[in-house]
Structure 1
Amino acid sequence: MQLLKLVESEIQIDVPLPWNVRNHDCTLLLARGHVVSSEAQMQALLERGVYVDLEEKRAVEALSAPKPAPPKSIYVRWADAIDTLETLVHDLPHAPDFPAKIDALAQELITLTDLDADIAIFMAVRQDQARHLRYGYSHSVYTALLAILMTQRMEWTAANIRLVTLAALTMNASIADLQSQMASQDYPVLDRQRAQLRAHPFDSAALLAQAGITDTLWLEAVRQHHEQANGKGYPTGTTQIKELAQMLRMADVFMARISPRVIRPPMSVQDAARQMFRDDKGGAMSSAIIKVLGIYPPGNLVKLASGELGVVMRRGAEARTPLVAAVTDTQGRSVTTTLHRNTAEPAFAITGPAADDKNLLARVPPERLYGYAQMGAQQT
């Protein structure tokens, strides 16, 4: 037994002792729970010399130490990313330590994408239609996600993946609240809103520069992210567009098309991919979207040859054969259990996307499909 001599600050009057108090030869003097009731008694003990078993003291301290908070789930971390972006953008151009904080947020998105890309895609495809008021921020986060997946597929350098993530998060800094308003309004875009939209690439870049961003590639990508190679883009109509800006525009437009608005439903992932592939003339970037999402990405509601409806959980080895969780039986009735269907098997082959007429997906949270502690890295 290794003894540690006690000092006055470790003994409290009228408070039960948390450990046994001993003499220098290990003899027990006061049992744990004994109450030292007066100053005189405490001084007498200290003058005599009192000790505690070191291991016992450490055990008590370990029990009384604050318990660390449990790690956040991957779903909460995605939601937190949107919250963080909203806070940072609201404070522009005077956000304290903006360059460091936005860089940390970009790294968090890259980390979350690497942890489980299928969950990330699921959340982007299955955007909560009740949260239009946060669209300006969630759109930038999910655009960043898609840009990360595309650039990883195209084997961009880590530095350029980081840059496109930063540009996606900040491309709409000057109109994030306007975007949220427009997503929730039940009337067409107003002239004054359209004017703000056309000016926002330069306005957003100016806000970033005022906030301390000096990276010219980042700022140029933000300025050019609505320009097109045919000269029909805005705000300048230039045809000399950097690759970073082209990637940003591709991810931005695709995510906008599949995102819901009050005034219109989202375009299906399949239609958005076909349109993007046609507009890009089958180029590398539109091809990358199809390759990273698959024909039926996680979050998509699909019809199965079995007669069931299912929600795609994970991409498969082939673009048309993802892993699906059935959400109805063969008669179209909702099921409470989660039955996995391998769509590479003919009996459960996907026959096409399904319309969510009965709002089935609202009753299938990601936790039901992936579990609460799903943190493993996903296959690509």
Structure 2
Amino acid sequence: MHRSRIHIDQLELNAPLPWNVFDEHGQLLLCMGFRITRESQRQVLAARGLYAESPVAPPSRTRPPSQAYRPFQVWRSILDETEVLLEKIRLQEDFPAQLASLSGLIQDMARRSADTALAALILSDQQRYPIAHSAHVAVLCELVAQRLGWLPERRRSLVCAALTQNLGMIDLQLKLCRQRIAPSATQREEIRRHPKLGHDMLTSAGVSDAVWLRAVLEHHEAPGGGGYPFGITTPSEEALLIQTADTFSAKVSPRAARKPVTASEAARAMFLASTADQRNPVIAALIKEVGIYPPGSFVQLENGEVALVLKRGKLAHAPDVVSLLSPAGSSYGAPLPRNTSRKEYAVTRMLAREQVKVEIDPERYWTK
């Protein structure tokens, strides 16, 4: 059946949808009668690309010319929607469909440009750490699962699970990232309970996807045993990938009790921590996907300049960069592209974000 494209002007807030809404692949996203109640929700849905099976009336007002895809604006909408859906899950109408739509938008962002998705992960602020962290893990899972050749539907379940992995401890997670002491006995018990609690909350909200539910339940289990909450020996592959991405994202994110490490340091530490007999096969795929110098990272060049990584290069050690600061530390009036495969512009080391005293506008560098 022919489907008509729905534009954002045709998605009215607080009004029942007059049609069933599908994505570009024909998957049902929202049923007729559903009410869109938030602007961020409307932006997320519109960014997906929406279609109706019945003819759609033209917008009530003249639609402005289409604008370029703005990934960091989409990223902010993703964070806004994730926050609402997770914190008010019991109040959400058709939670599984809304979360699946959000997951599809993350997949679309990764499909459009993996470099942009990685830059969003590294450069986004950490003021809403529990929400941002879940979205970071979801992006990493999607990118690594693509590299591993997982099919789209399996990846959709994976991304849904990544977004909801810490549903059972959102408030505690915020406290832990701010406190400078080790978790108390009470907090440790709450941590051990959160996979089962999150699983049960999802079931109560109408989630029936077995892959999604199992991944949330097992994302802290360990091959061979020793994980929690049940100490099972064979967690699902989705759970193992979420756990790996979760660890990586936590290492590169700032906390009150410690400073973040660079992406390459985090990957190396994780690889060395896995034993030869229990080597995590996902770590190698994650390292290859993120690269030595992931987009959004700051690096120092052989000539002393400080540069921003825009894209992973064809050669792992030679990313695409623009220099922002001169060897003397002064800011260039305009970013200068540098060919890092040339000796004088070779990358010598990565720099932590706090070492680089310059503000950047991500929209200036990543537009698709």
- TM-score over 0.5 (shorter chain): yes
Equivalent residues of 2:307, 2:324 under 8 A apart:
yes
Separation in 2, partners of 1:283, 1:369: 34
**1:231-280 C-alpha deviation (Å, 9 max, x unpaired):** 22111111121111111111111111111112211122111101222234
Larger CA deviation: 213-222 vs 199-208 = 213-222
Residue 256 in 1 paired to residue 253 in 2? no
Corresponding position of 1:47? none
Q: Number of aligned residue pairs: give it.
A: 306
Residue in structure 1 matched with residue 311 of structure 2 by the alignment: 314
| AA in 1 matched with 2:350 | P
Q: Does 1:158 align with 2:152?
A: yes
Task: Please say which structure displays the higher CA radius of gyration.
Answer: 1
Q: Which residue of 1 aligns with 2:338?
A: 341
> What amino acid does structure 2 have at the position aligned with 1:110?
Q
- Root-mean-square deviation (CA), in Å? 2.0
Amino acid at match of 2:116: I
Q: 1:202 to 1:357 in 2, by over 3 A?
A: closer
Rounded to whole Å, the distance in 2 between the matches of 1:357 and 1:200 is 33
Question: Cα deviation per residue 1:90-145 (whole Å; 9 max; x = unaligned)?
Answer: 2223421101100100001000111222121112122324x1xx111111111000
Deviation at 1:341, TM superposition (A): 1.2
| CA offset digits 1:298-345 (Å, max 9, x no partner) | 111111111111111111002111011112112222223111112111
| Correspondence for 1:325 among 319, 322, 326 | 322
Query: Any stretches of 5+ residues in structure 2 without a counterpart?
Result: 1-57
Aligned residues of 1:325 and 1:369 also touching (Cα < 8 A) = no
Is 1:104 matched up with 2:85?
no
Partners of 1:214 and 1:367 in 2: CA distance: 38
Is the 1:127–1:259 contact (alpha carbons within 8 Å) kept by the matching residues of 2? no
TM-score by length of 1: 0.76
Query: 2:363 is aligned with what amino acid?
Result: E
AA matched with 1:221: A
The within-5 A match list for 1:101-180 is 101-129=98-126, 131=127, 134-180=128-174
Q: 1 CA distance for matches of 2:357 and 2:238?
A: 38
Q: Is the 8 A contact 2:297 2:309 kept in 1?
A: yes
Contact 2:160–2:212 at 8 Å: present in 1 too? yes
Change (3 A) 1:105 1:187: same
Q: Match of 2:233? A: 239
Q: Which whole-Å CA distance do the structure 2 matches of 1:259 and 1:139 have between them?
A: 8
Paired with 2:231 and 2:273, the residues of 1 have a C-alpha distance of 17
3-state SS of paired residue (1:335): strand
Q: In the TM superposition, what is the alpha-carbon distance from 1:186 to its structure 2 partner? A: 3.7
1:65 aligns with 2:61: yes
Q: Which residue does 1:291 correspond to in 2? A: 288
Q: Take 1:209 and 1:357, find their aligned partners in 2: how far apart are those partners? A: 42
Counterpart in the other structure of 1:364: 360
SS at match of 2:75: helix
Ranges in structure 1 where 5+ consecutive residues have no aligned partner = 1-61, 376-380
Q: Of 265, 270, 294, which residue of structure 2 is paired with 1:271?
A: 265
Q: How does the TM-score come out when normalised to structure 2?
A: 0.78
Q: Is the 8 A contact 1:338 1:368 kept in 2?
A: no
Deviations 1:285-306 (A, max 9, x none): 1111111111010111111111
Distance apart, 1:70 and its partner CA: 5.8
The alignment partner of 1:351 has SS state of: strand
Shift of 1:358: 4.4
* Contact residue 119 and residue 366 of structure 1 kept, 8 A: no
Q: CA deviation at 1:69?
A: 8.1
Q: 1:213 aligns with which of 203, 207, 231?
A: 207
Check the 8 A contact 2:158/2:211 in 1, yes or no.
no
Name the CA distance, whole Å, in 1 between partners of 2:198 and 2:61. Answer: 46
SS at match of 1:113: helix
What fraction of aligned residue pairs are identical, expressed as a percent? 34
| Structure 1 residue 78: Cα displacement | 0.5
